[in-house]
Amino acid sequence: MKLGLSQASYRWVAYPWLRTDSATYRYSTGRLPYFESVEPPETAGDLPMWMIERARVHGLTALYMDPGWFGDEAGARRFGDVMRSAGIEYFGIAVPDFPADADAWGATDMAARRSARDAVSYRLAETANGWSGGTEFQRCVRAIELSAAAGATIVNVVHREAGLRHRFIEDPPLAEQLDAIIRNLTSLIPIAEELGVVLTTESHMDYRVADLVQVMEAIDSPWLRHNFDFVNSISVVEDPLDAARLAAPYTVMTHIKDMRVQPYTLIGEPRFFNAPIGDGDVPVLDILEVLQQGAPDPDNLQHCVEVLAPPEHDAEAWIVASLNWLREHAAPYFT
């Protein structure tokens, strides 16, 4: 097993639309009085190389990052060249409306794929909305293509509308949502195979791992596997250790993190709080053991650290604390 980095660990420092020191900060009329021990990237264009440097400084061997930061194939190839020189593996992201209906997903024939490059503008800059034009299918195609151009061997397909469409809504019912996910992901398998990248599902606070195992079993392709998130299943009432046991045979990467759980409060509702790894209630070591025993290639399994410090906390301090804990308490699992 190896340790990598997820870009989300630095979301409040690096994403232009989330940086609290930016005039475009969208979640407050003022700036939060927080301290960061690292200097943020000056522009969105600087972010890819900035992220590589953060991974390098912490001795990490993978970086999970949205290809929208690259702009085009030339930018993706430049990024990939730097990653290879640094000895860091790249994992890409595609963020469609996972259970979109057939009309929204769009045509999936060769003509639709070929037109994706012209139809879709896919760039992350000053706002969170990096998508423009094209269908859900075409947007996914572009994300996979850009990821492959940067050297990705894995592209994680993450549900963009998890807050709106998830397993707990009644219209459409869960069975219909899963059927749509199966149909949509099946349309991406030939592209993944052609480009030589494995697509992964992820429980993204929307569906249980048990749901996604049904999807992977139905599609039954070596080009579809799983990115296991250590905490996300909690939000959909699924025990993370049970989820790990289900996911292990399909898991080719993870987002390793921790969360503190307060099952009862005075208002009669549970609360969940992000925490540095080792400070929460997730059985991190037990999950690592399950994945060590059950993942298809545990020696090369990259655990991308994705600790989500609140904006008023120092993200770098949370990452350092998490890595120190893992290297002290989970050292036998990491090469």
Residue 273 pLDDT greater than 90, yes or no: yes
Write the burial class of residue 276 (CB in 10 Å: 0-12 exposed, 13-18 middle, 19+ buried): buried
Q: Are 188 and 144 in contact (CB under 8 A)?
A: yes
Residue 72 pLDDT greater than 50, yes or no: yes
Q: What is the mean pLDDT of residues 39-65?
A: 93
The DSSP string of 282-314 is S-HHHHHHHHHHHSS-GGG-EEEE-----TTS-
Q: What is the mean pLDDT of residues 262-275?
A: 88
Q: Are 167 and 174 in contact (CB under 8 A)?
A: yes
- How confident is the model over 6-48, as pLDDT tens digits? 999 999 888 877 776 665 555 554 455 456 788 888 888 899 9
Residue 318 identity: W
Q: What are 240's two structure tokens?
A: 């993370």
Q: What is the mean pLDDT of residues 154-176?
A: 96
How large is the greatest C-alpha to C-alpha distance in the chain, in angstroms? 57
Which pLDDT band, with edges at 50, 70 and 90, does 269 fall under?
confident
Which pLDDT band, with edges at 50, 70 and 90, does 329 fall under?
very high
* Phi, psi (rounded to 5 degrees) for 127: -130, 165
What is the spatial distance between Cα 188 and Cα 144, in angstroms, rounded to a whole number? 9
Q: Please report the pLDDT score of residue 35 as a whole number.
A: 65
Residue 333 pLDDT greater than 80, yes or no: yes
- How confident is the model over 288-317, as pLDDT tens digits? 999 999 999 999 999 999 999 988 889 999
Residue whose tokens read 């994706």: 116
Domains in the chain: boundaries:
2-333
Residue 180 pLDDT greater than 80, yes or no: yes
For the 2-333 domain, the top CATH level (class) is alpha beta
Residues 6+ apart with CB under 8 A from 276: 258, 307, 309, 318, 321, 322, 325
- How confident is the model over 111-129, as pLDDT tens digits? 999 998 888 887 665 556 5
Q: What is the mean pLDDT of residues 175-194?
A: 98
Residue 321 pLDDT greater than 70, yes or no: yes
Range name among 8-12, 28-32, 56-60, 100-104 with the lowest pLDDT average: 28-32
**Which of residues 17 and 108 earns the better pLDDT score?**
108
Q: What is the pTM of this model?
A: 0.94
pLDDT mean across residues, the chain: 92
- How confident is the model over 218-253, as pLDDT tens digits? 999 999 999 999 999 999 999 999 999 999 999 999
Q: What are 70's two structure tokens?
A: 């690259």
Residue whose tokens read 């993870």: 254
Q: Please report the pLDDT score of residue 33 as a whole number.
A: 47
- How confident is the model over 75-84, as pLDDT tens digits? 999 999 999 9
**Which of residues 45 and 63 earns the better pLDDT score?**
63
Q: Please report the pLDDT score of residue 61 as a whole number.
A: 98
Q: What is the mean pLDDT of residues 156-177?
A: 96
Q: Please report the pLDDT score of residue 127 as a whole number.
A: 56
Q: What is the mean pLDDT of residues 62-79?
A: 94
